[in-house]
Amino acid sequence: MSLKLFAPPKKDALHTGGKSTQSQGALLNTVEQIKVLLCKGKMTQPHILILGVGRVGRAIALDLASTYDVTALDRSAEALESLTREAPHIRTVQGHLNDSALLNKLLSEADLVITAVPGNMGYRALERVIQAGKKVVDISFFPEDPYTLEELAREKGATVIVDAGVAPGLSNFLLGYELAQKPVESFVCYVGGLPVERSWPFQYKAPFSPADVMEEYTRPVRQRIGGVLLTKAPLSDLELINIPGIGVLEGFNTDGLRTLLRNTTVPTLIEKTLRYPGHAEYIQVLAHTGFFSTAPITISGQAVVPREMTAALLSKAWEMSPEDEDLTVMVVRIQHVSGDLVQYTLIDRADTTRRISSMARTTGYTCTALAKWLLEGATLQPGIHAPEELAGDEACFAYVMHHLATHGIQITRQTLQPLP
């Protein structure tokens, strides 16, 4: 068994690889020239607009503001005030995506846009950005098919990277890298965000929108097994997996494969969400009893939608306080057609000093890596791009791994004994 830890590569290793869009020297020279011109005041600093500064959006804003001019749009005055206290140089704007005049003005000023809104708002937000012809990196993980926006993106000249988080996102990126080396037979991803302190009954805190967590628990699961596309119930195929340093966790089916089902021909594709043992059973009880139903029921003469009520209750039960610490666990097992089996492992913990959750770190910094890569010389044609398509470019892969490592996010790659 071999073990490799991805660490920050040397500067001259960041843009290497036969499939890179520019030569190493040309790309590095371009970046250096831009920096020189910025210092001399001959160029304006690239401007980034961030739509949504919740937990993940905040981490993205703080990271990008160390290098670029950043504007943050959110409807929450509290979220914007918190961001201003930490980074007064970030321009904050309170408003709603439905305010077309405001959004169009902000988009006209932006060189690149990050969409970090809840999933139920994501598709429309991305569509608006594409209509403005902007480069955009999306982490809203909306349920709609992003490729329905492909024609519009090409028409408007918009370069779009979707699903740029941890999973989907980094998990896709790792598969794309392995596919560029040699054919892959199977991909299995186990991933989850967990509270460090376990509390009854759910042993869970939502590191992102609770409504999106509920969507994950209720959406039918698409998998490919042995070349056959299957649809399964969410939370099915429960299994226990031991994570060294963490302990035993349970994994169950969720619908997280998304673009991998379209963009790869890997015969077996599976993703499972990780939680502390017992969590899935409580969720299944709620689902079986009807708490996730969208059909209104009448209580004391009032129409009530069970799912909306449940979301309100779970939002309180699952709410993360600034003092809550979380961790992110991801194990990706990839078996090549040759029989070689590799395993990637990521275990990350919250940044308690800056009050950035682990899920915000792993999701947000994957997003900012790809955003910086887009701004610093990457050549991508207008259209929709997913992480698995980008990782075949060794320069892009090295850039993202370097960026994550500089933030203390370590990913190990092991060669394991082939499965029987």
Q: Are 383 and 153 in contact (CB under 8 A)?
A: yes
Using alpha carbons, select from 48, 144, 271 the residue that is nearest to residue 125. 144
What backbone torsions phi and psi does residue 133 show, to the nearest 5 degrees? 75, 30
Would the CATH topology of 47-161 be identical to that of 170-358+410-416? no
For residue range 308-348, list pLDDT tens digits in order.
999 889 988 898 887 889 999 999 999 999 999 999 999 99
Q: Hey, CA dihedral for 318, 322, 324, 325, is it positive or negative?
A: positive
Q: How far apart are the first and last CA of the chain?
A: 16
Question: What pLDDT shows up at residue 4?
Answer: 56
Burial class (CB in 10 A: 0-12, 13-18, 19+), 89: exposed
Question: What pLDDT shows up at residue 406?
Answer: 95
Sorted by where each begins, the domain ranges of the chain are 47-161, 170-358+410-416
In angstroms, the CA 315 to CA 306 distance is: 14
- Band (pLDDT 50/70/90 cuts) for residue 279 is very high
* pLDDT exceeds cutoff 50 at 28: no
* pLDDT exceeds cutoff 60 at 15: no
What backbone torsions phi and psi does residue 20 show, to the nearest 5 degrees? -65, 155
In angstroms, the CA 17 to CA 26 distance is: 13
Question: What pLDDT shows up at residue 45?
Answer: 86
Of residues 321 and 265, more confidence is placed in 265
In angstroms, the CA 349 to CA 318 distance is: 18
**Given this structure, which CATH class describes domain 47-161?**
alpha beta
Question: What pLDDT shows up at residue 10?
Answer: 41
* pLDDT exceeds cutoff 80 at 254: yes
In angstroms, the CA 78 to CA 249 distance is: 35
Using alpha carbons, select from 173, 84, 151, 185 the residue that is nearest to residue 367. 173
Q: Hey, CA dihedral for 177, 222, 272, 55, is it positive or negative?
A: positive
Question: What pLDDT shows up at residue 47?
Answer: 96
Beta bridge partners of 222: 231
- Band (pLDDT 50/70/90 cuts) for residue 419 is low
Write the secondary structure of the chain as one string of H (helix), E (strand) and C (coil): CEEEECCCCCHHHCCCCCCCCCCHHHHHHHHHHHHHHHHCCCCCCCEEEEECCCHHHHHHHHHHCCCCEEEEEECCHHHHHHHHHHCCCCEEEECCCCCHHHHHHHHHHCCEEEECCCHHHHHHHHHHHHHCCCEEEECCCCCCCHHHHHHHHHHHCCEEECCCEECCEHHHHHHHHHHHHCCEEEEEEEEEEEECCCCCCCCCCCCCCHHHHHHHHHCCEEEEECCEEEEECCCCCCEEEEECCCEEEEEEECCCCCHHHHHCCCCEEEEEEEECCCHHHHHHHHHHHCCCCCCCEEECCEEECHHHHHHHHHHHHCCCCCCCCEEEEEEEEEEECCCCEEEEEEEEECECCCCECHHHHHHHHHHHHHHHHHHCCCCCCCEEECHHHHCCCHHHHHHHHHHHHHCCCCEEEEEECCCC
Predicted TM-score (pTM) of this structure: 0.86
Question: What pLDDT shows up at residue 5?
Answer: 59
Could you please state the CATH topology (level 3) that the domain comprising 170-358+410-416 is classified under.
Dihydrodipicolinate Reductase; domain 2 (3.30.360)
- Band (pLDDT 50/70/90 cuts) for residue 265 is very high
Question: What pLDDT shows up at residue 22?
Answer: 37
Over residues 379-388, mean pLDDT: 94
Question: What pLDDT shows up at residue 36?
Answer: 39
b/e sequence 10-49, b meaning 16+ C-beta within 10 Å = eeeebbeeeebeeeeeebbeeeeebeeeeeeeeeeebbbb
* pLDDT exceeds cutoff 50 at 248: yes
Using alpha carbons, select from 270, 275, 273, 233 the residue that is nearest to residue 252. 273
